[in-house]
Structure 1
């Protein structure tokens, strides 16, 4: 592979230490939009791939531990060809252990896919594209490997935490991050907005559409903090800064607890869909 950027090197190290962290966070939580409900945010993507006997090739870009590919493989559609690409060898090893041998897995960067042009019918990606460097090249590669009329669908971040706890967390996090968090840029800001995605997809895609996807969750403050430890910025803090953030956050979040001790929150996601023109 091409030498990794600083952000990619960190992400590779993180996923070497915490294999399967993304599916652990999202696979067990239902997701919903204003018009539909799914078993998880992964199911938002798997449900877009048709069930049937027609030959289809599906690429999961940044497939991680293969959870989305597993949902598709469980259908046992004889004409469904599944391919997963990720830059993390550790995540791919976990995927290989969990998936049927018929699922092809390759360690590559999204900016340089070793795939024939116009060879993919559906390209899906879960919680990864907003982290990628040189997103314009990623989009060019996505369009190159998709057949004309092929479908692209991704789940990306929309907001960090749902509800009032997001403001509370940011209020205690930002002062610590401003002095204690080493600078490191993840991805492209355009991948965080609908307008940005429209601009990125303008050249090679049509029928661009979006859905706000909420993944509600009601943890205790302690459970929420444990989940936050698996986020990149908190992982990058040193132990002292992380402990100061923990104390400040748990104190600030305590008034948000309901009578049962839980906090109403969750994750705010966005589904991006488009057709290869």
Structure 2
């Protein structure tokens, strides 16, 4: 386990369930939120499909799948015991939960029909090994669907955020923490990662609009990995700097135009 993975495990042990509140309310027309769009890719060929949610967190996606596919055999894997405790409460026995790493799954080979993952796959260390494990547990022709990050805070607001965060990181002398494999930051990189084991690769860029007030923006950012690493005093200073830098973007109703850039990936096990 490297430093990035240790940080992620610690973060989610301390702060379970941070992702669904940030993304469940951001909708792309009638397609719904990113969880809805990911769940909609599941097209089972069996009456009782075996579905794995990799990096399941507090079970939000598993709950959605259970409601849409009540006959599915659901399995959730996460390395955070605290997240899995929350998932256990949410699912109330409608799925099997495993505390383990995606790099070394306990599941039998060719035992899963579909693997889904929401904003977790790009954060996993040794992605080549993770994808090899996904391929191993999938049946031939089995489905992989994942929503991954593409762009953090769209538009001009995102540019201002990066500037003020980098200044804050320098003040706290934050060490570089490689949370995301560089190959997982572009479609071409994902093609390279997936092409060894998967076919029928499909990519769709998703821009989810978001118009928060500044306080709503800051409260949401408080649940991100970036701000978690800052000292309280530095975080307070960054809040003021970001407020000043984005004041000119505020609309008459006090909201700010931005959004989240995601990528929906679909593939089949070769």
- TM-score, normalization by structure 1: 0.93
**1:26 corresponds to which residue?**
23
**Which of the numbers 255, 258, 263 marks the counterpart of 1:262?**
255
Distance in 2 (CA, whole Å) between partners of 1:74 and 1:196 is 34
Q: Quick check: 47-56 or 255-264, which moved more?
A: 47-56
Q: Quick check: 91-100 or 12-21, which moved more?
A: 12-21
CA RMSD of aligned residues (A): 1.5
- Local SS of the residue matching 2:193: helix
Conserved in 2, the CA contact under 8 Å of 1:53 and 1:77?
A: no
**1:90 corresponds to which residue?**
82
Matches within 5 A, 1:45-124: 45-50=38-43, 54-75=47-68, 77-78=70-71, 80-124=72-116
The size of the alignment, in residue pairs, is 269
- List alignment gaps of at least 5 residues for structure 1: none
- TM-score, normalization by structure 2: 0.95
**Which of the numbers 105, 117, 129 marks the counterpart of 2:121?**
129
**Which of the numbers 199, 205, 221 marks the counterpart of 2:192?**
199
**2:12 corresponds to which residue?**
15
After TM superposition, give the deviation of residue 28 of structure 1 in Å: 1.8
Distance in 1 (CA, whole Å) between partners of 2:151 and 2:199 is 25
- Post-superposition Cα deviations, 1:234-275, rounded to whole Å, max 9, x if no partner, equal 110111221121110011111101111100112111111111
Conserved in 1, the CA contact under 8 Å of 2:168 and 2:230?
A: no
**1:168 corresponds to which residue?**
160
- List alignment gaps of at least 5 residues for structure 2: none
